[in-house]
Structure formats: structure tokens, C-alpha cells
Amino acid sequence: MDENTLLIALGIVCLFVVIGIATKKIIFFDSDEDLWANILFFFWGLCFGGVISLYPELETYTMVQKIFFWLGAVIFGGIALGCLVKTFSATIKGNGIILGLFMLVFKLLFTLVMILFILGKISEAFDDDNKKKKGNIVILLALFALLKLFWKPLKNFFINGDKVRAKRGELIQVESNTPSQ
């Protein structure tokens, strides 16, 4: 398959997902918790990967170092797995099994691309080869200012669980149990 055809197909899939989110047919992030579980999955997964990368030298470690190695691997891996399960369950609950599995992969890839983009911009700003340090820092600050400016509208667009459920008629109205006087 041609590379351009693959990119066009990927763009069309992304367009369908964005249209589904905009028309409140697809739940992208169910809540703030779902968003942060998705982001933290990559952080804790990276920590787990860092600890596991030390595995080849495990034979030369002392007993205390081995205990800390396995403790770190289990804790970081468990937290990363917990974040993944939380994201998985929220996605399946909101979108059903078929669309939920697709949206889980899409959400993870979307989050990974956004994290890599932000880290790439930070890395580019502090690159030693660039002589324009102050200019790069200004660009980085402008990027963060734009992120701060557009954070609330983006958050309202992507965290759409309640809006989609309200449109579907699945939102449960909670009534107050206090008697009126």
C-alpha cells in the first residue's frame, strides 16, 4: 500500500472521529479523571520502561538493589496498568465494545502524539545547537500561553462524556433528598 494512501485513510479516520466528537456521538474523554489516567499511563509506563531497561545488569546488583529493582518494576508497572484499565473501562462504558476498543487505540495514539509534540518543542527550545536561546524560550512561553488560553475550550471539546450522555438521554438527573420547607 502506498504511503500517501495510508496517510489519507488515517486523515479520514481522524476526521470521522472529530465529527463524531463535535456532533456528540462519540465520547472521547469521559471525565477529567479519564484524561489524566490516559496522560499518566504514559508517564508511569515510561518509569516502568526505565526500570526494566536496567534488567540486563540485574546479575551484578546487590540484594538490596534487586529488591528496589523489582519493587520499582511492580509499582510502576501496576500503576501504569491501573491507568490503562481505567481509560479502557471508561472508553468501553461510554462507547460500547467495538467503538470503545477503536477509541481506546485512538485516544492512546492521540495522547502520545500530543506528548511527543510538547516534549519536542521543549527539547527544541533548549537545544545546544541553536544559538537563539532567548528567542526559543520566548517561542516556548508563547506556546504555553496559547495552551493556557485554549485549554478550557479544548478541554470542553475533548471531555464530552456528560454532553454525549445528555444527548443520548442517558444522563441521570440527581434530585436533592432534602425536604423543602
**Listed residue (32, 41, 34) closest to 76, CA to CA:** 41
**pLDDT tens-digit map of 101-118:** 999 999 999 999 988 888
Q: Where are the alpha helices (DSSP H) in 26-171?
A: 32-52, 63-95, 97-125, 133-158, 161-168
**pLDDT tens-digit map of 147-174:** 888 888 888 888 888 888 888 887 666 5
pLDDT at 78: 96
Provide the 10 A C-beta neighbour count for residue 1: 6
Residue appearing with cell numbers 420547607:
181
pLDDT at 106: 92
- pTM of the entire predicted model: 0.77
Hey, where are the domains in the chain?
A: 26-168
Task: Measure Cα distances from 39 to 30, 34, 69, 111 in Å.
Answer: 14, 9, 24, 7
